[in-house]
Structure 1
Amino acid sequence: MQIKCSDIQGLDCFPKQGMIQFWICADDCWGMCDKKGFRVIYYDAISDSTTTPQMSAFNDMEKEFFPLKGEYGVAFLPTIEDAPKNSTEYEETFCKYFNEISGEAIKSPYDLKFKLNLPFDVLDEAVYNDNSAHGHKVGGSSDFCQYDPRETIEQQKRYDFQLLQMCSDFRSDSAKIMWGDAGICHFFINSEKLKNCDFRDVLYYCDCC
């Protein structure tokens, strides 16, 4: 994946020029098992001249594992979205207002299961349904098949900006992008480091159903 930075509008911390490239290894864990299995590279300027890079073709096994099944262009459209209902931000806000109104002290919306004796499927429908975070995007809220890898407050501050979310895409007859079993790929970075075009510390994570 590569992004021409001038195509991204409305994100103050995002570079205004140059190009960002995302690279992963074509292995069975998409480069996550090795610290050298992925790279994010920033070029502060795009040259008009062209060179022929040294490249080798994928072997059959690499083709099988690699999540992208072709080459695709992208167009970025600015949008506003709510925090997804499975996010830490949403859960904290929900619990804050519920506790203020009810006088309870729940720490998770799922605590309502024990307070109100509601079945989990009812809670899923009432509290977690209608998640708006899905889709390919730069910035915005994140969607996860399993869990957010930024489990601590320190990690959430360290990687507070979603540099890229790429979902599995199988809306046509054949899968164009498939991360395992309909999974999602993420790259996270600190927003201040992004503003300074410092890409030395990036968190890469993929999960699937």
Structure 2
Amino acid sequence: MSKKEAVLKVYNDIKNETKKEAMSIALKKQKTELTDSKVGGIPYLPVGVDVPVDDEGRQLTLLAQINCEELEGMDDYPQKGILQFFILMDDCYGLDFDNANEQNTFRVVYYDNIDENVKEEDILKIYNPYIEEEDYLPFEGEFKMVFTPYEEGITLEDFNFDKVFVKRYNELFQDNQIEAFWDLDDDSEDELYEEVSGDGSKIGGYPYFTQSDPRAYENLDSYNTLLLQIDSMDDEKGNVQTIWGDAGVCNFFINKDKLKNLDFSDILYNWDCC
């Protein structure tokens, strides 16, 4: 068995053991309706509810909105209502690198019911998000989300990958034990990348990072569920849809039990780029 065949055999084993439900996200640039699943656009807000602000009173911008009726089949995720992701439009896209789980310059909001009587024109009277510079927007315009369900095994970038891979590799190849995935050699990442990378925009599944998984540090491993990932994306004509810094990626994580309880008060937000 070649080295590549061995690596792929190990991955196929752990892929089946670690698979999770996911929804891939494609973006279609168009004017969206108030309760659509979307990136950008006007947020749904119940009557009497204010736009989220940071501790300086600056309004946050709607990054993404999920109509949860479209998450049918995604266990643990809400099946009705609206789930929203807001960020402050400054040069860090609302990320406080020292307090990435404090919802000040970002916010995740969930409404369990939708009032169909809410009018977009009424929300436009109060929605005036702070934007430090237009160039800081990670998207331009608004996009409707199109979901496709699939299953995904653990990705190369997930901080648990090394532990899971090494355990199975050593079980299968007892005469060639390793202590870390990187003990194989530098070519192994390239051999696995297309098969194992977690890139792309999605709900659920496993994450992708251009740098490293922040959950490997500072006791953040309790954020064990990928709530939303928005990658840098182009359309079929090469036009930019979303871009995070230098072709980076954005993730939001939650604890699985809190997700089951529809408790969105404790979220880890991250983005990084090359």
TM-score by length of 2: 0.67
Say yes or no: does 1:159 pair with 2:230: no
Which of 135, 156, 161 is 1:90 aligned to?
161
C-alpha change, 1:198 and 1:82, in structure 2 (3 Å) is same
Matched, 1:69 2:137: no
Deviation of residue 77 (structure 1)?
Answer: 1.4
Kindly indicate whether the alpha-carbon contact (under 8 Å) linking 1:86 and 1:128 is maintained by their aligned counterparts in 2.
Answer: no
| Matched residue, 1:111 | 183
Query: C-alpha distance in 1, partners of 2:144/2:228?
Result: 15
| Counterpart residue number, 2:44 | none
Aligned equivalents of 1:153 and 1:12: distance in 2?
A: 28
**Secondary structure at the counterpart of residue 74 of structure 1:** strand
- Cα deviation 1:157-181 (Å, max 9, x = unaligned): x211111000011243431111000
CA contact (8 A) 1:139 1:164 kept: yes
Cα shift readout 1:22-57 (whole Å, capped 9, x = no counterpart): 000000000002741100001010001124120226
Does the aligned pair in 2 maintain the 1:135–1:165 contact within 8 Å? yes
Structure-2 change in CA distance of 1:178 and 1:205 (3 Å): same
The answer as to 2:81 corresponding to 1:18 is yes
CA RMSD of aligned residues (A): 2.1
* Contact 1:187 1:204 survives alignment (8 Å): yes
- SS of the residue corresponding to residue 110 of structure 1 reads helix
Unaligned runs of 5+ in 2: 1-63
Runs of 4+ in 1 over 6 A off after TM superposition: none
How far, CA to CA, are the matches of 1:56 and 1:38 in structure 2? 16
Long gaps (5+) in structure 1: 114-119
What displacement does 1:128 show? 4.3
Distance, in Å, in 2 between the alignment partners of 1:153 and 1:9 is: 34
When normalised by structure 1's length, the TM-score is 0.86
For 2:268 and 2:77, locate their aligned partners in 1 and report how far apart those are by CA, in whole Å.
17
Deviations 1:70-95 (A, max 9, x none): 10001221101222233334322321
1:50 aligned residue:
118
Q: Deviations over 1:136-172 (max 9, x none)?
A: 111001111101110159522x211111000011243
Q: Distance in 2 between matches of 1:107 and 1:49?
A: 59
Confirm or deny: 8 A CA contact 1:19 1:45 kept in the other structure. yes
* Corresponding pairs, count: 200
Aligned equivalents of 2:129, 2:205: Cα separation in 1 = 35
**2:72 pairs with 1:9:** yes
Q: Is the 8 A contact 1:9 1:78 kept in 2?
A: no
**8 A contact 2:157–2:197 mirrored in 1:** no
Are the equivalent residues in 2 in contact too, given 1:166–1:184 (CA < 8 A)?
Answer: yes
The corresponding residue for 1:116 is: none
CA change 1:111–1:18 in 2 (3 A) is same
* CA spacing shift, 1:57–1:85, aligned 2, 3 Å: closer
Instruction: Read off the aligned partner of 1:165 and give its amino acid letter.
Output: Q
* Alignment correspondent of 1:117: none
Higher strand share: 2
1:148 to 213, 224, 228: 213
SS at match of 2:148: coil
